[in-house]
Amino acid sequence: MILFKKNIIICALVSLAFMAHADVFTLWPKGKSTGQGLDTFLKSTPLINEAVRINGIKAELKLSLVRMSLDEILRLLKKKFPTAKFASGGDSILVKQKLKNGWHKRLLLIYFGELAPVLQISITLPPKLPRPSRWPQTLEMTSDGIPLRYIYFPKRGTWYGSFKTSLEPSQALREVRDSLTAQGWNPVTGESSPSYSGRGEIFLRKKPFSIMLINFSESGVATVLSRRMK
């Protein structure tokens, strides 16, 4: 059962990668990054590099996949970038590095399972980012959720967000499951089942055909991604 659940998560990541590269008819790029910047040091496989809006501010975001464990990633990044700020817990790592022009680069790495690659999200932001004035209706959030940030991909109509919750991961997951199923969403992996203390789930909805991925960390930070497939 666990293997089946991990495979479902991998399939979801692969489907998102396919959508990101549909315009060039390729799933996995042949080359890898070789630079020494914060977002290229891990030699990740790039997926997306495009203009986005984060909390309403224009920025550039990069998505890629890293085939290493979070422990190994954290060790390598701390050794290479000792002046950067690190926050880790549960299934994610957040890295913040100040640049010479006063802006800063953020790197978020999310672990979805032992058989899936780590998702790396990189973005460069101005010195002060405004807090979100609203939470997108397309993204689910717990009743006590405090919005941290959201990112909108205009080219593909995809939303990504993170919020803070005081609920324990499995409790928070059950709450959003109840809310989403009432809205016509169906859980795919079973991780959100009351009999399973899961942290993340993949939801699908037929009309309109959409996918939503949500994950809760032990630190109380939740990440959620939503896309309309048609």
Asked if the model's pLDDT at residue 185 lies above 90, the reply is yes
The residue range of the domain holding 120 is: 2-228
- pLDDT for 73 beyond 70: yes
Q: For residue 24, give every residue at least 6 positions away whose Cβ sits within 8 Å of its Cβ, in sequence order, or none.
A: none
Q: Which helix (H) or strand (E) holds 210?
A: strand 210-216
The contacts found for 138-146 with CB under 8 angstroms, 24 or more apart, are: 138/226, 138/228, 139/212, 139/224, 139/226, 140/176, 140/179, 140/180, 140/212, 140/214, 140/224, 140/226, 141/176, 141/222, 141/224, 142/167, 142/172, 142/175, 142/176, 142/222, 143/175, 145/222
Which phi and psi (to 5°) does residue 74 adopt?
Answer: -65, -40
Asked if residue 216 has pLDDT above 60, the reply is: yes
pLDDT at site 127: 79
Of the segments 22-26, 37-41, 70-74, 90-94, which one has the largest average pLDDT value?
70-74
Determine what percent of the chain is predicted with pLDDT higher than 90: 42
With tokens 């409790």, the residue in question is 171
Residue 60 in tokens:
């550039």
What confidence category does residue 197 fall into, taking pLDDT thresholds of 50, 70 and 90?
confident
Whether 4 shows a pLDDT value over 50: the answer reads: no
The strand pairing partners of 124, in sequence order, are 105
Long-range interactions of 200-209: CB distance < 8 A, separation 24+: 200/9, 200/91, 200/112, 200/173, 201/173, 201/176, 201/177, 202/8, 202/9, 202/12
Counting the structural domains of the chain, the total is 1
Q: What are phi and psi of 19, to 5 degrees?
A: -65, -35
Interval 118-164: pLDDT, tens: 999 888 888 777 888 789 999 999 999 999 989 888 888 889 999 99
Q: Read off the pTM.
A: 0.60
| Residue 166 confidence (pLDDT) | 96
Burial-class residue 14 by CB neighbours within 10 Å (0-12, 13-18, 19+): middle
* pLDDT over 90 at 168, yes or no: yes
C-alpha pair distances (Å), 49 with each of 23, 98, 167, 182, 215: 13, 21, 33, 35, 23
